[in-house]
C-alpha cells in the first residue's frame, strides 16, 4: 500500500467521492494533514511518506468519515472566523454563514452605545446574552472583539455548556462568561440580572418536513439544536422574541439566524412582538435570507 501523501490524497478523494461524501477533496486534505500533525496540507507535504503509525491513524479516521461522521468531530477542533474551537459530538457545529451573525451583533452593540440617553435605555452597553450557545463560537468572538462586554450564555444541552466553557477558556475570555444550563422555558430565567443590551442567537429553526432532507452528517448532532418546532420551524424563535421583549433594555437589539423560508413569515406575522419592532432581514453569502434583527422600543 502506498504511503506517499500525494498518492494517498488522490486515493481518498476517489473513495470519498464514490460513497457521496460532500467535498471529498477537503476531507482528504484535512485528514491527511491531521495525521502528519499539520492543520492544512501544502505542496511541500506531498512527497512525505506516512509512517506505519500515521497510516494506521489515517485508516481509523477515514473509516469514521466514510460513516459520514462530520469532519469537525473527527478532527476534534475547527476554526470559526479567526478563532480555534474544540468540537465534540453531539454539540451543534457552527456553519460558515453564522460568521455574519457575529458582524451583525457587533453592529447592534455599537448602535446601542450610540443611542440616545432615554432614561430606561443603556447608553453604555455592557451585558449581552447568547441563547442556544452550542459550542460557544459566537460568544467567544464577541467577547474577544468587545473587551468591555460580559456575556450571559444560555444553553439547554449539558455537553454544549461544557464545550462553551472550554472554548471560552481556551480563547482567554472565560472570565467574562456567565453560563446558564437552561432553556427559554425555564421559570425565572436570568432572575434579577440587569437589562440586556443585546441578545444574539442561532436557535433551532429547521422546519420538521425539511429534517428528512438533511445530509447524513447532521444525524451526529443533537436534534435539540436543529428542530425549530411550531409553525414552519418558528417555535423556538417565537420563544426567543418573547424572551427578548422581557429582558432587553429599551433601545436594545435582538439578532438571530433563521431558515431562508422564515423571512416572509416574520414580515407578515411578526412585524411587531410586544415592544419589539422588526428592523431588517439580511441575507447570507449565498443570497438567502438568513438573519433577522429586531429593536426594542
| Mean of per-residue pLDDT scores for the chain | 92
Cβ-based burial of 247 (10 A; exposed 0-12, middle 13-18, buried ≥19): buried
CA distances from 173 to 59, 70, 113, 147, 293 (A): 37, 27, 21, 9, 26
Do 134 and 26 fall into the same domain? no
Q: Render pLDDT for 171-228 as a digit per residue (tens, 0 to 9).
A: 999 999 999 999 998 988 887 788 999 999 999 999 888 888 889 999 999 988 888 7
Do 276 and 204 fall into the same domain? yes
Q: Confidence class of residue 115 from pLDDT cuts 50, 70 and 90? A: low
Nearest to 71 by CA among 105, 44, 112, 39: 39
- Residue 113: inside a domain, yes or no? yes
Do 97 and 30 fall into the same domain? no
Do 168 and 252 fall into the same domain? yes
**How confident is the model at residue 124, as a pLDDT?**
56
- Residue 10: inside a domain, yes or no? yes
**How confident is the model at residue 209, as a pLDDT?**
81
**How confident is the model at residue 116, as a pLDDT?**
47
Do 135 and 24 fall into the same domain? no
121 vs 12, more confident: 12
- Residue 234: inside a domain, yes or no? yes
How many domains in the chain?
Answer: 2
Residues 6+ apart with CB under 8 A from 112: 121, 122, 125, 197, 198, 249, 251, 252, 253
CA distances from 251 to 17, 45, 99, 215 (A): 51, 53, 24, 40
- Residue 72: inside a domain, yes or no? no
Say if residue 32's pLDDT is above 60: yes
- Residue 77: inside a domain, yes or no? no
Do 10 and 51 fall into the same domain? yes
Do 41 and 157 fall into the same domain? no
**How confident is the model at residue 113, as a pLDDT?**
78
Q: Render pLDDT for 6-17 as a digit per residue (tens, 0 to 9).
A: 999 999 999 999
Do 200 and 167 fall into the same domain? yes
Residues 284, 288, 291, 297: is their CA dihedral positive or negative?
positive
Q: Confidence class of residue 76 from pLDDT cuts 50, 70 and 90? A: very high
Do 113 and 52 fall into the same domain? no
**How confident is the model at residue 120, as a pLDDT?**
45
- Residue 261: inside a domain, yes or no? yes
Structural domain of residue 274, as residue ranges?
83-296
Per-residue pLDDT averaged across 66-94, rounded?
A: 97
**How confident is the model at residue 66, as a pLDDT?**
97
Angle (CA) 174-175-176 rounded to 5° is 90
Per-residue pLDDT averaged across 141-162, rounded?
A: 96
Do 169 and 289 fall into the same domain? yes
- Residue 162: inside a domain, yes or no? yes
Per-residue pLDDT averaged across 269-297, rounded?
A: 97
Do 164 and 19 fall into the same domain? no
Do 61 and 204 fall into the same domain? no
Amino acid at each position: 500500500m502506498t504511503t506517499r501523501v500525494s498518492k494517498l490524497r488522490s486515493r481518498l478523494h476517489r473513495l470519498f467521492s464514490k460513497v457521496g461524501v460532500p467535498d471529498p477533496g477537503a476531507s482528504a486534505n484535512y485528514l491527511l494533514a491531521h495525521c502528519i500533525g499539520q492543520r492544512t496540507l501544502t505542496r511541500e507535504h506531498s512527497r512525505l511518506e506516512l509512517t506505519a503509525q500515521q497510516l494506521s491513524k489515517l485508516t481509523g479516521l477515514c473509516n469514521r468519515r466514510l460513516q459520514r461522521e462530520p469532519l469537525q468531530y473527527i478532527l476534534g477542533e475547527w476554526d470559526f472566523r479567526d478563532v480555534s474551537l474544540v468540537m465534540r459530538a453531539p454539540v451543534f457545529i457552527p456553519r460558515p454563514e453564522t460568521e455574519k451573525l457575529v458582524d451583525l451583533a457587533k453592529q447592534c452593540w455599537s448602535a446601542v452605545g450610540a443611542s440616545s440617553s432615554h432614561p430606561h435605555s443603556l447608553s453604555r452597553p455592557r451585558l449581552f446574552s447568547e441563547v442556544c450557545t452550542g459550542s460557544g463560537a459566537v460568544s467567544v468572538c464577541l467577547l474577544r472583539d468587545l473587551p468591555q462586554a460580559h456575556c450571559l450564555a444560555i444553553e439547554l444541552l449539558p455537553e454544549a455548556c461544557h464545550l462553551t466553557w472550554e472554548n471560552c477558556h481556551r480563547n482567554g475570555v472565560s472570565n467574562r462568561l456567565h453560563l446558564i444550563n437552561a432553556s427559554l422555558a425555564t421559570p425565572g430565567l436570568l432572575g434579577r440580572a440587569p437589562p440586556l443590551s443585546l441578545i444574539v442567537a442561532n436557535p433551532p429553526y429547521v422546519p420538521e418536513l425539511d429534517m428528512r432532507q438533511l445530509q447524513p452528517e447532521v444525524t451526529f448532532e443533537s436534534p435539540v439544536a436543529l428542530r425549530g418546532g411550531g409553525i414552519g420551524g418558528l417555535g423556538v424563535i417565537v420563544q426567543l422574541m418573547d424572551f427578548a421583549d422581557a429582558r432587553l433594555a429599551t433601545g436594545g437589539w435582538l439578532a438571530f439566524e433563521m431558515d431562508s423560508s422564515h423571512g416572509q413569515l416574520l414580515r407578515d406575522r411578526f412585524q411587531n412582538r410586544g415592544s419589539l419592532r422588526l428592523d431588517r432581514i439580511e441575507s447570507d453569502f449565498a443570497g438567502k435570507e438568513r438573519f433577522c434583527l429586531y429593536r426594542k422600543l
